[in-house]
Structure 1
Amino acid sequence: MAADMRGAKEEPVEPEVAKQNLQDQRVDASGWRETHWQDTSDSEQRLTSQELQYGPTSRTPIMNSLVSMAVITAALYFGRDLLVPLAFAILISFVLDPLVTWLKRVGVPRAAAVTLVVAATLGLIAATGFFAATQLRQIGNNLPTYETNITKKLRDFGRDLRKPGILDQYSRVFGKVEKEIGAVQAAPGPRVAPPTQVELVTVGKPMARLMGWVETFVPTIASAGIVIVFVFLILLDRGDLRDRLLRLMGGNLHRATDALSEIGERVSKYLTMQLVVNATYGVPMTIGLLVIGVPGALVWGLLAALLRFVPYAGPLISAVFPLTLAFAIDPGWNMVLWTLALILVLELISNNIIEPWLYGSSTGLSTLSLILAALFWTALWGPMGLILSTPITVTLLVAGRYLPALNFLEVLLGSSRALDEPTRLHQRLLAGDTEDAVELALEHAEKTSPEDFYTQVGLGTLQLATNAHGTVATAEHRHRVVSGMEQVLEELREQYPPEPGLPVKVACIGGRWAVDALAAEMAAHVLTLKGYGSRVVQVGNVSAEHFAQLDLDGIDVVCLCYFSPSPTTHARFFVRRLKRRWPHTQIILAAWNHLPDPKEPSPVKQIGADALVTSLDELMLQAGTLLDHADPYVPAPLPENEKERLRALQSSGLLQEGMRSRLDTYARHAADAFDCTIAQVSLVDDQWQLVHGYAGSDGPLTGLAPEQAAPRDQALCSHVVALGQTLVVPDVQRDARFAGNQLLRERGIRFYAGAPLRDSDGMILGTLCLLDTQPRSLTSRDILLLESMAAELMALVKRSQAAVEQPPPDMDLAPGAA
């Protein structure tokens, strides 16, 4: 097994290489040293230092968690009389708070705004109830006229059931057999008359009936009153309640604030989408019932829309009423069938088209978690729990995402995969499930590309296997990973064959272990698919005899693949041998686990290689450069509305000299918000990128001063103007579109993110952009923030231009001034 992982049998090599081999055996790929017992006959007696340090998993935390969950569940059940109205009030507050905020924004005091919104809501509910009651009373008055139809249909239905059919003969036979068995088992004896049933009927007094009604309706009215009080108080002092929740959550204030914000956004979006979905169901239902001729169509459409707030059971209940009424009023069956067809069509359209389109990922919950949550909360709180199940579960999901103690909730409830793609593939290989591993690989390659699979999944899987080597992975695990990945690569090569007839110019060699050889096969396949003819050269050891047998004739570039984080010694010896025998060959060192340290010099010169790469994207760029096939940097094309855009830029006021200092202030705020080396407000004219707002440190980019401008064909901001959308480049040197930009290389720019500056007519005048000397990334929330800051900047500039005749004494262009 070990031979499979480490390649062919080792032969004597130079002392420094042998010393490095011994160190590599004791240090895993992540750099952590592991202490093992000496070899024993029983593999189960081998213990790692981690097992010695931590010992067996303690059962105390598990028991504490189970006891805590039991206590919380009991508290939710026994406290439902108070918790259900409170939860329902919070849910209603999410719906009404935007109206209160809007009224407050237009100048209405918060107390008055809350009172007005609550009163209007109660009035709307009362009016709806009065309308529904009036319609139902009219329908009830007409019910006696439908008695004949109901009686006739029931009699016809019973007569049809009594008609002789296919099963009558079987029923008659079984009846006779049953009678014979009963006669045999019956014992003779005196007949005993059955006892006479006596029923006592008491006539209730009016006061008793009144008390019965009170006992029935008072709890409901009391609960409704509690909900109204809670809603009023929550809307009245929302800020104080939020502060108290933040205090109770404790820990990181930033994470707690983000958690509350996301909870509010997700629940509000869910309720809004639920309202839209219900309306798109209720309105067609009303129109359809009117066309069919079912009485009370407005009531049934309204009832259908309201009951859809109750998951699963609501649509079924709402369908009973129009079907029953159609059954009663129509002598035939046409109205019933048309009504049933209408309901089925609307359910199919709503469930399969409208809901997936509108909901999208608004909740982030998996289907299974939604069903289990509905069952759980219904068991605890009854029908109200069913209504509240989805919002409460969304809250728990977001809390699990931001609070470390509740992270398990995100895994249990979330719709995202519990394991990322490399981990999933690694697990399938560890389990020996090669068929599923091949299916995962082909599925990912079909959705994106085989190159993307190798970049995002393949190398990541091998990195996981390397990190586990020598620690938790056994010989069988290592063998399964290697053999399984070989089958995955073979299947991918068959499904995506290279272009025939490519001259082989690149040789990919695995440095030491079998995982290095697998990475070499991935690199060769990717390079071949990109048009660079490549092949894999198998190397068992680095002895002189083996080097004499290598076939590198016609090879211009050699790619050495290593997963060791520090392959310096072995790679230096390998490169020296290669250079000595093939002096004109250029060598790329692919160190997949290498983490560059800005304080340390690059190991390229120390090793003697021509280039160092850590990803397949970098490998393709470097291979193309060394083979003189690299695509040159292509400037951004001109937009179709270039003339109108230039006129809008001249009239925008952004080019005025007095505006520069104010734009510098805004750029400084952007640099502080994103903790970036440089932020600037760039304007793109016909030939230049003009930097009219700048904030940066006196670092390696001193040449990028505000008074200097870059040629438009070399500026990344021109690509934002051409694309018409935000552009984020995590690493310029790894992006094939911009790696050949000489200006970016000279200024040491590695990261770029630019959001377009649009005027009121939609013309893109420039960008609010971020630059850094180190690679970095932005989250989706960061990108939205950058775009909102760009829009806010243009709004402030527009107001400044409107007041140019009487400018204010000091216009603050800081974010949030609006």
Structure 2
Amino acid sequence: MDTRPPATPAPSPLAGQPLTAILTFVLIVTVLYLGRGIIVPLVLAVLLAFALGPVVNALRRVRIPHIVAILVAVLAAIVLIGAIAYTAVSQFIALAGDLPRYQATISEKLRMAQETFGGGQVIDRLVSTIERVGAQIESNTEGFTVDEGDPIPVVIADDGGGALEIAQSVLFSIVGPLASLLIVTIFLIFLLLEREELRDRFLKLVSRGDLRSSTEAMNEASERVGRYLLAQASVNMAYGVLFAAGLFLIGVPNAILWGLLATIFRYIPFVGTLIIASVPILLAIAVDPGWSMLLWVIGLYLALEAISNNFIEPRLYGNSTGLTPLAVLVAAMFWATLWGPIGLIVSMPLTVCIVVMARYVPGLSFIETMLGSAPVLLPQERFYQRLIAGNAEEATEVADREIEDGDVARFYDEIAVPALRLAEADIAGDLADPSHRHRVVETLAEVIENIEGTADPANGGEETRVLVFGGKTELDQAIALMVAERVRAAGFPVRVMAPVTLRKEGIAQLDLSGTDVACLCYLGAKPEIYARYAARRLKRIRPHIHVIAGYFHPDLRASGREGTSEDIDVVTHTIALAESSITAALGAEGETAPGPTPSSDETRLAARALSAQAAADPAIAHALRRLAQSAGATVAMVTVVPLGEEFAEDHKSSHAEHLAREVLARKGTLIIEDLQHSPYAHLRSVVESGVRAYAGVPVALDDRQMGAVLAVFDQEPRLYEDVQVNRIEQSAQLLASDLQSLLARREAEEKEAID
């Protein structure tokens, strides 16, 4: 996750010109409305081209010529649509013939309602109306004769044009839909035939020299719309089949018709299924003398809606649409107002295309902000907003969501520290007064207490072996509080010191007799001078104290500057590495590590030497080959890296070393399905390696300066199964003893060389 403060977005070209924006919007809407006779068939053809594109590609893969594949796909779509229309019309005719039979049941239920709830003119009129309508329908089906009542006077008028007008109206009612279908079909065939050519021309038209962004926009729009259309068609068809099957088993007449209509009406957002489900519900009232059929139909509808909306659609759609529910509703109303019922059907894919295009056009970025489902605030911005408001409950809720995997240190590094950097930027720009700063720190302290579960941070009289100092400001002290909580969670007594204690007068009054480790925390951009003087003063009082400097500014982290000196033993840039450095300095058994700490360069060279020895060892190399073969991976390797060292691109570290540091920081298995589409894709070593999939497991190594990771790499994207991950973890346990033997042998050789 990118923890850098977000850059200020470029202002929209339309910013400050509201009149121009309004006129442009009105012009676009006018063109869409007046040109709907051409635009609507074109839009339908484009959407059908998205849907039929995979079918055409599949036919071409089996050696069918391009033109033949297109004609077969289009003809199949026409036959399918025609079959659905024929089935729906025949079912409607059958339903119309059966309606008179349901008159008695409806009248009886209305009389029962009248008896139950008392008399009323409304129910009387309803009963008489139903009886008259039923009689009229029945008379029409029996040769247009009426059994009862007064004879109807017949007037014969010959105006000479009645037959011609009727013929014209019938002809136009048939020719209109056929003409629209023909236009859509012609558009569709040409779109499929000239797909590559049209794509190139569109890119040339809109790219303005930036083919990369334009291609990414088109690919994303095509992939997202195609995935959504396929998923929606699958869900709608399954819904219609289950709805029809359920109605058939219940006994509702014309179940196939309602299943077809449910499939079609589900394309209308939110209310489509409710509209079509109301018809079989009313029909159940008319068919069944009792109420059981009605209850069964309502139960079927509610069950299907609950399953599809809460389980199936979130899994299949996911974020494929990229739209918020409110945006879906507004889009449906907008396109329905412009284009009628067709607008309801095409509203979702059209709006998806517009939102995707807006992402790559700077002047239209406000559209994605208004309609897109992506959070408009980054997690660190959202967390910072809660801190500014002093809302500890909502800030804790944000924190709980971010640490679902239980990695509190990662939350501190990726969310909390960047939020403090936003507060620091506000202070530098004079955008926040001191009361805001104090509110941020106090609220953060309350959030830390909530997520860490530390009600009383006191040490209960236990000797404090670790002091964590805030460097200069109260924001530095907030970072010190996070570091201290992580060290306390590891089981070591720790105390947080205010920045004032690092001044000359404050350090002179400190009692460091029982302190083994001091950690200095700085959020500013140039902390080296302050840290060096503070470390020197601490070591004057207690020469053997282990001083760790934490530089948490992003510029220092990216530059790779070490900042170590004779007074500063270790420099870290994250909460997780500060915790591991402190615990390593205290020792695994809670005893201070004796002797001087090796420099980072020496430790890095020793780690790489141990990695090379492991690769050359015959037993380890054989085990790695077997692991790669069993996991179906390209290669397996053991990587040894220094502990307590933050990666920077200037270090010239390999992709294996960087990923190994990530595994050790997580203290657990790391699985990456595709490195090229992961948070590590920006690293040059990862891009140049050609590695796509990664699975790494930490190897237990009894060393306080180095850690080892067993990893498998694959040159194609993949997701390792649980069985394969378990095999890697078991191999890591087996390799631990071999690596420990190599480490002991290396230490013995170094000692012998010194002697």
Normalising by structure 1, we get a TM-score of 0.66
Render the CA deviation track for 1:361-410: whole Å, top value 9, x for unaligned. Answer: 22222222212222222222221111111111221232233333333233
What SS does the corresponding residue of 1:751 show, helix, strand or coil? helix
Q: 1:366 aligned to 296, 299, 324, which one?
A: 324
Structure 1 residues 628 and 205 mapped into 2: Cα distance closer, same or farther (>3 Å)? Answer: same
Conservation of the 8 A alpha-carbon contact between 2:469 and 2:480? yes
Structure 1 residues 146 and 238 mapped into 2: Cα distance closer, same or farther (>3 Å)? Answer: same
Shift of 1:772: 12
1:384 aligns with 2:342: yes
Q: 2:162 aligned to 193, 205, 213, which one?
A: 205
Conservation of the 8 A alpha-carbon contact between 2:611 and 2:640? no
Q: 1:263 aligned to 221, 232, 242, which one?
A: 221
1:552 aligns with 2:512: yes
The aligned counterpart of 2:197 is 240
The aligned counterpart of 1:584 is 544
Q: Which moved more, 1:301-310 or 1:768-777?
A: 768-777
Q: 1:222 aligned to 173, 179, 183, which one?
A: 179
Shift of 1:419: 0.9
* Equivalent residue runs for 1:72-111 within 5 Å: 72-111=28-67
Partner amino acid for 1:518? A
The aligned counterpart of 1:569 is 529
Conservation of the 8 A alpha-carbon contact between 2:518 and 2:548? yes
Conservation of the 8 A alpha-carbon contact between 1:524 and 1:535? yes
- What are structure 1's unaligned runs of at least 5 residues? 1-28, 33-49, 166-200, 632-699, 755-766, 793-818
1:290 aligns with 2:248: yes
The aligned counterpart of 2:206 is 249
Q: Distance in 2 between matches of 1:544 and 1:768?
A: 49
Render the CA deviation track for 1:222-264: whole Å, top value 9, x for unaligned. Answer: 2222211111111111111111221222142122212222212
Conservation of the 8 A alpha-carbon contact between 2:252 and 2:280? yes
Structure 1 residues 145 and 474 mapped into 2: Cα distance closer, same or farther (>3 Å)? Answer: closer
Q: Distance in 2 between matches of 1:749 and 1:541?
A: 42
Conservation of the 8 A alpha-carbon contact between 1:750 and 1:774? no
1:122 aligns with 2:82: no
Shift of 1:610: 0.5
What SS does the corresponding residue of 2:555 show, helix, strand or coil? coil
Conservation of the 8 A alpha-carbon contact between 1:429 and 1:485? yes
Conservation of the 8 A alpha-carbon contact between 1:749 and 1:772? no
Q: Distance in 2 between matches of 1:277 and 1:599?
A: 51
The aligned counterpart of 1:516 is 476
Q: Distance in 1 between matches of 2:407 and 2:560?
A: 36
Q: Distance in 2 between matches of 1:359 and 1:728?
A: 36
1:113 aligns with 2:56: no
Q: Distance in 2 between matches of 1:290 and 1:80?
A: 40
What SS does the corresponding residue of 2:564 show, helix, strand or coil? helix
Q: 1:322 aligned to 269, 280, 294, which one?
A: 280
What SS does the corresponding residue of 2:323 show, helix, strand or coil? coil
Structure 1 residues 155 and 354 mapped into 2: Cα distance closer, same or farther (>3 Å)? Answer: same
Partner amino acid for 1:573? Y
Q: Distance in 1 between matches of 2:682 and 2:98?
A: 80
Partner amino acid for 1:751? H
Q: Distance in 2 between matches of 1:545 and 1:294?
A: 89
The aligned counterpart of 2:571 is 612
Q: Distance in 2 between matches of 1:559 and 1:353?
A: 49
The aligned counterpart of 1:790 is 716
Conservation of the 8 A alpha-carbon contact between 1:519 and 1:561? yes
Render the CA deviation track for 1:449-493: whole Å, top value 9, x for unaligned. Answer: 433332222211111111222314232433332333343344445
The aligned counterpart of 1:811 is none
Q: Distance in 2 between matches of 1:84 and 1:378?
A: 12
Partner amino acid for 1:456? E
Partner amino acid for 1:403? V
Partner amino acid for 1:241? L
Quote the RMSD (CA, aligned, Å): 4.6
The aligned counterpart of 1:683 is none
The aligned counterpart of 1:148 is 104
* Equivalent residue runs for 1:390-401 within 5 Å: 390-401=348-359
Q: Distance in 2 between matches of 1:76 and 1:772?
A: 41
Q: Distance in 1 between matches of 2:660 and 2:201?
A: 37
Structure 1 residues 77 and 778 mapped into 2: Cα distance closer, same or farther (>3 Å)? Answer: farther
Conservation of the 8 A alpha-carbon contact between 1:455 and 1:616? yes
Partner amino acid for 1:287? A
Structure 1 residues 84 and 408 mapped into 2: Cα distance closer, same or farther (>3 Å)? Answer: same
What SS does the corresponding residue of 2:428 show, helix, strand or coil? coil
Partner amino acid for 1:349? I
* Equivalent residue runs for 1:675-754 within 5 Å: 709=616, 750-752=657-659
Conservation of the 8 A alpha-carbon contact between 1:732 and 1:752? no
Return the structure number with greater relative CO, CA threshold 8 A, min gap 6. Answer: 1
Q: Distance in 2 between matches of 1:279 and 1:560?
A: 63
Q: Which moved more, 1:551-560 or 1:324-333?
A: 324-333
What SS does the corresponding residue of 1:587 show, helix, strand or coil? strand
Q: 1:310 aligned to 246, 264, 268, which one?
A: 268
Q: Distance in 1 between matches of 2:377 and 2:189?
A: 44
Structure 1 residues 498 and 61 mapped into 2: Cα distance closer, same or farther (>3 Å)? Answer: same
Q: Distance in 1 between matches of 2:264 and 2:473?
A: 65
- What are structure 2's unaligned runs of at least 5 residues? 122-156, 591-606, 662-673, 696-712, 719-755
Q: Distance in 2 between matches of 1:78 and 1:236?
A: 28
Q: Which moved more, 1:586-595 or 1:469-478?
A: 469-478
Structure 1 residues 445 and 118 mapped into 2: Cα distance closer, same or farther (>3 Å)? Answer: closer
Shift of 1:355: 1.9
Conservation of the 8 A alpha-carbon contact between 1:751 and 1:772? no
Shift of 1:499: 11
Partner amino acid for 1:97? G
Q: Which moved more, 1:85-94 or 1:215-224?
A: 215-224
Q: 2:389 aligned to 392, 408, 431, which one?
A: 431
Shift of 1:609: 0.6
Structure 1 residues 325 and 708 mapped into 2: Cα distance closer, same or farther (>3 Å)? Answer: closer
Structure 1 residues 523 and 381 mapped into 2: Cα distance closer, same or farther (>3 Å)? Answer: same
What SS does the corresponding residue of 1:509 show, helix, strand or coil? strand
Render the CA deviation track for 1:723-770: whole Å, top value 9, x for unaligned. Answer: 8889999x985889x999xxx99989633499xxxxxxxxxxxx9999
Q: 1:532 aligned to 480, 484, 492, which one?
A: 492
Shift of 1:69: 2.6
Structure 1 residues 727 and 70 mapped into 2: Cα distance closer, same or farther (>3 Å)? Answer: farther
Q: Distance in 1 between matches of 2:405 and 2:525?
A: 32
Identical aligned residues as a percent? 34
Structure 1 residues 83 and 305 mapped into 2: Cα distance closer, same or farther (>3 Å)? Answer: same
Q: 2:587 aligned to 628, 633, 640, which one?
A: 628
The aligned counterpart of 1:70 is 26
Structure 1 residues 716 and 788 mapped into 2: Cα distance closer, same or farther (>3 Å)? Answer: closer
* Equivalent residue runs for 1:11-50 within 5 Å: none
Q: Distance in 1 between matches of 2:613 and 2:39?
A: 60
Q: 2:303 aligned to 329, 333, 345, which one?
A: 345
Shift of 1:593: 0.4
What SS does the corresponding residue of 1:561 show, helix, strand or coil? strand
1:136 aligns with 2:84: no
Structure 1 residues 559 and 791 mapped into 2: Cα distance closer, same or farther (>3 Å)? Answer: closer
Structure 1 residues 522 and 777 mapped into 2: Cα distance closer, same or farther (>3 Å)? Answer: farther
Q: Distance in 2 between matches of 1:84 and 1:438?
A: 49
Shift of 1:612: 0.7
Structure 1 residues 702 and 89 mapped into 2: Cα distance closer, same or farther (>3 Å)? Answer: farther
Higher helix share: 2
Conservation of the 8 A alpha-carbon contact between 1:579 and 1:585? yes
Structure 1 residues 482 and 294 mapped into 2: Cα distance closer, same or farther (>3 Å)? Answer: closer
Q: Distance in 1 between matches of 2:18 and 2:93?
A: 58
Render the CA deviation track for 1:613-651: whole Å, top value 9, x for unaligned. Answer: 1111221222233223399xxxxxxxxxxxxxxxxxxxx
Structure 1 residues 541 and 594 mapped into 2: Cα distance closer, same or farther (>3 Å)? Answer: farther
Shift of 1:512: 0.9
Q: Distance in 2 between matches of 1:773 and 1:704?
A: 25
Structure 1 residues 532 and 241 mapped into 2: Cα distance closer, same or farther (>3 Å)? Answer: farther
Conservation of the 8 A alpha-carbon contact between 2:53 and 2:192? yes
The aligned counterpart of 1:480 is 439
